[in-house]
Amino acid sequence: MEGKMFSEQTKTVLLSRHGAGIVSQYALYAEQELILRRLDTDKEAEIRVVGQLGNDGGLYTYGVAFLNPEMDLWGVKFQGMTDSEKVASRVLLQCSSCKTRETVEQSDLESDVYLVNEGIVRSCKNCGSSTFWKQATDEETGEPATVRPVSLPEVQEKEVPVEVLAGVATEPAPAAKYSARVDNRRKHVRTKVSFKACVRTYTFGDDIVACEDISRGGLRFKSRKAYVEKTDIEVAAPYSPGTQSIFVRGQIVHVVELKQERRYRCGVCYAKS
């Protein structure tokens, strides 16, 4: 926003049919347009910042989307979404400024950003600018409309060396009001995430769960399984079915029952090695 040009060599943390998750040392803003170049093939693509997925140690993780939806920068064959997953990806959003409502079918990256930030920045035709959109509420009860998280078959966790070119950035600054929140009270900084993990136990076998945050010392996830504290587990995070995953040993150290969601929130501490 200050008009400063920048270029940096960085890396991806996941690949998507629609874009990628990238790490940057700069504080970028949603809807900002950049140029992304693969260093191994020199292929370029114009991208926009969908939103922030997390930050840790002065580095920021962003979801970015191709401006050209037909762009194939990665050369990867992604599995398509099923009809039920497409239905689950539809959300009723409301502009926080003019209160306009729209039903939106979110991409995998938009779903990630939306879940992490409890809302998303997008263009509002009525306001004529980019505004913050949140889940619309029921007009009669005032309660939020039901929004189900969508599984992400069109995402692959993968690191690819890339370069961001001709980008305009702000000076690194505290996260904006719609940025991911990070809990700094623990020994290790926890970063908000939105990807799948696989928890392996003798009782439940392989359980595919939704990972909420992660740190060097452990992670937190939600599951429909009733885990108990001090249970020894093996966990792979992130996890993509059909790909080779690395499992590490850990222990369930905290369990909270979420009665309304009919799920359990579990805290995991990695085993010392």
Contacts of 131 (CB under 8 A, 6+ apart): 95, 96, 97, 98, 121, 122, 123, 124
- Express each pLDDT in 49-97 by its tens digit: 998 888 877 888 999 999 998 888 988 887 776 776 677 678 888 898 8
pLDDT tens for residues 137-174? Answer: 765 445 555 544 444 445 566 677 777 765 544 444 33
Round to whole Å and give the CA distance between 30 and 131.
10
pLDDT digits (tens, 9 = 90+) for 10-21: 988 888 888 999
CB 31 within 8 A of CB 49: yes
Q: What is the pTM of this model?
A: 0.52
Give me the chain's average pLDDT, please: 78
Q: Quick check: 1 pLDDT over 70?
A: no
Q: What's the pLDDT score for residue 56?
A: 78
- pLDDT value of position 159: 73
Kindly report the CA angle at 92 between 211 and 90, in degrees rounded to 5?
Answer: 60
Instruction: Judge contact between 49 and 62, C-beta under 8 A.
Output: yes
Annotation: CATH topology of 191-270? Thrombin, subunit H (2.40.10)
pLDDT at 182 over 80: no
Q: In whole angstroms, give the CA distance from residue 148 to residue 127.
A: 28
Check pLDDT > 70 for residue 273: no
Average the pLDDT over each of 33-37, 48-52, 122-126, 253-257 and give the range with the smallest value: 122-126
Would you list the domain boundaries of the chain?
4-77+155-169, 191-270
Name which residue leads in pLDDT, 190 or 168.
Answer: 190
* Residue 106 confidence class, pLDDT cut points 50, 70, 90: confident
pLDDT of residue 184: 35
Amino acid at 66: F
Q: Which amino acid is at 169?
A: A
Q: Which CATH architecture has domain 4-77+155-169?
A: Beta Barrel (2.40)
Q: How far apart are CA 178 and CA 48, in angstroms?
A: 17
